[in-house]
Amino acid sequence: MSRTVLITGATGTVSTALMNALQGTDVDLRALVREESKADGPRQHGAEVFVGDLDDARSLPPAFEGVHDVWLLNPNGPRAAENNMNAVWAARQAGVERIVRLSVVGAAHDAPNRSGRLHALSDRETERCGMRWTILRPHWFMQNLLNESGDISATGTFSLNMGSARLGMIDVRDIAECAARMFLDDPDRHHGQTYTLTGPRSLTFDEVAGQLSLALGRSVAYLPVSDDAKRKTLLGYGVPQWIVDMLEEYAQAYVSGWGDFTTDTAAGLLGRPPRDIADFVRDHAAAFTPADDN
């Protein structure tokens, strides 16, 4: 019998990639979206769509009814732990059997960023939820580089407040394929496991720029900037201050060496090496190329 999997955060980067990975498999996809206007994407993946908001516990029961497994992704923000609580409670009330939770790299009560500390609270709640559970803690997403695609296309440069930090960054497609294994394998196989997922090597952004240069056939340079300069840029784009603060906390941690590590966990789950930065930039070259050259 097929199992019904509820995808929360269904319009986000990782959840969309997960629906790609699960499409065509023996699972029935269900998606939770905040607004009906955002339902088209999940429906194109064959998901049954329910409108609900993790901020509002009363909106959740219809989406969780009859669900076997939940992909739990709650947005970064000061209400993250509340969002997780609302979802876990709805899952328990509906008789859900398993939760697979997307956490963050280095989640801990003493993490050097508020996001990591909030996720640690939700991880612990998930561990005590009374259902089968698995927690994924992925490293920095290679897809974050797409946020810099406009500058790279226009000027051949990108600016981050990361200094010479090294990160074991990972392609979101590999995160999604690891998550898919949680739902496609025997329900007991991954119960009680916390998996830290990284790419195959730890990279500086100068090395990322070198890979972009090779893939695009033109020079791309990384220009380190100060925290204040990056803050001004993000606020100018309308990014909420809480998110700007969070990103700055991560950047400061990475500059200190906090992100300079890799694991072999993704390779073990995937049965192959995770994608390298060269694979990512080759597959997304068009995003970094001026429109006139496409």
In whole angstroms, give the CA distance from residue 281 to residue 216. Answer: 8
Q: What single letter denotes the amino acid at residue 150? A: G
In whole angstroms, give the CA distance from residue 13 to residue 6. Answer: 16
pTM of the shown model: 0.96
Phi first, then psi: give them for residue 87, nearest 5 degrees: -70, -45
Task: Convert the pLDDT of each residue in 185-229 to its tens digit.
Answer: 988 999 999 999 999 999 999 999 999 999 999 999 999 999 999
Domain 3-141+171-197 is in which class? alpha beta
Tokens of 205: 């952004």
Domain 144-166+200-260+275-293 is in which class? alpha beta
Per-residue pLDDT of the chain (294 residues; tens, 9 = 90+): 689 999 999 999 999 999 999 998 999 999 999 999 999 999 999 999 999 999 999 999 999 999 999 999 998 999 999 999 999 999 999 999 999 999 999 999 999 999 999 999 999 999 999 999 999 999 999 999 999 999 999 999 999 999 999 999 999 999 999 999 999 998 899 999 999 999 999 999 999 999 999 999 999 999 999 999 999 999 999 999 999 999 999 999 999 999 999 999 999 999 999 999 999 999 999 999 987 665
Extents of the domains making up the chain: 3-141+171-197, 144-166+200-260+275-293
